[in-house]
Amino acid sequence: MVEAWIVTGYGINCDLETEFAFKLAGARTRRVHVNELLSSELGCDILFFPGGFSYGDELGAGKVLANKLTGIMDELVDFVRAGGLIGGHCNGAQVLVKAGLVPALEGYGRQEVTLARNLSNRYEDRWVHVRPVSRKCVWTRGLPLMELPVAHGEGRFFSRDPRMVEKLQRRDQIALVYVRPDGSPARVYPHNPNGSVGDIAGICDPTGRVFAQMPHPERALSWTNHPNWTSRRRESWEGDGLGMFKNVVSFARENL
């Protein structure tokens, strides 16, 4: 059975919802405290970093936990090379980006991009539309346009390299982009909630198995999670966010 570990501890506060999402997707789950993660061998197929405010964002969103991961970077890289999957949303995405696990264009462990303060200069807490665009990312490929919640103050994808978006496009590592409700490019606020270059909402590593995104799919597991659910008719009880978890659990079941 697919084993998913969900990291918890020190300000992480979306671990229970994320664990529930993996259970719904058919995985066996375990919440693992960050201290255990840093001091023991990885015994899972999927490792996930949920949202929240790890270590209080004292040095910037996700930076402290990212720094701590440098102590087990070799183990994490070996885990990925052996076929393991790593994911993170919101604060977890900030951790993966700042630890250099994504996009890893020049190898793991070197930070190449960042998630900076929103251009709106405010905490954005609402629902947005996103569209999967990568054929490589196993977490998102094959999924339709989705409406998911965001809840962050620092989610603006940015790089000092003016050609970064072009590089990610060429390597098929842009997993999700913000769009308008009709699926057309977001381009401007509020459809792009944070000002990310290229409307980028999520990226993956070169393998397509390490994935970081700002939206919160674990808050959209049922169609009744949506604030307007009573005015909508659905053929299924499933919310838009569950598909990502089902995708990755199915991939792990078939390949690990």
Straight-line distance from the first to the last Cα atom of the chain, in angstroms, rounded to the nearest whole number: 10
Give CA–CA dist 176/161, Å, rounded: 20
% of the chain surpassing 90 pLDDT: 96
Give per-residue pLDDT as tens, 139-158.
999 999 999 999 999 999 99
Q: Which residue blocks in 8-146 are alpha helix, DSSP H? A: 15-24, 34-39, 63-69, 73-81, 91-99
Domain boundary assignment for the chain: 3-255
Question: What is the overall mean pLDDT for the chain?
Answer: 97
Kindly tell me the burial class for residue 249, based on how many C-beta atoms sit within 10 Å of its own C-beta (0-12, 13-18, 19 or more). buried
Give per-residue pLDDT as tens, 17-51.
999 999 999 999 999 999 999 999 999 999 999 99
pLDDT, position 60: 87
Q: pTM above the 0.85 mark?
A: yes
- For domain 3-255, which architecture applies? 3-Layer(aba) Sandwich (3.40)
pLDDT, position 103: 98
Give per-residue pLDDT as tens, 49-93.
999 999 999 888 999 999 999 999 999 999 999 999 999 999 999
Give CA–CA dist 97/113, Å, rounded: 7
Backbone angles phi, psi at 246, to 5 degrees: -65, -40
pLDDT, position 231: 86
Under the banding of pLDDT at 50, 70 and 90, the label for residue 212 is: very high
The token pair at 165 is: 């978006």
Give CA–CA dist 42/111, Å, rounded: 23
Give per-residue pLDDT as tens, 109-142.
999 999 999 999 999 999 999 999 999 999 999 9
Give CA–CA dist 165/198, Å, rounded: 6
% of the chain surpassing 70 pLDDT: 100
Task: Give the active site residues.
Answer: 90, 216, 218
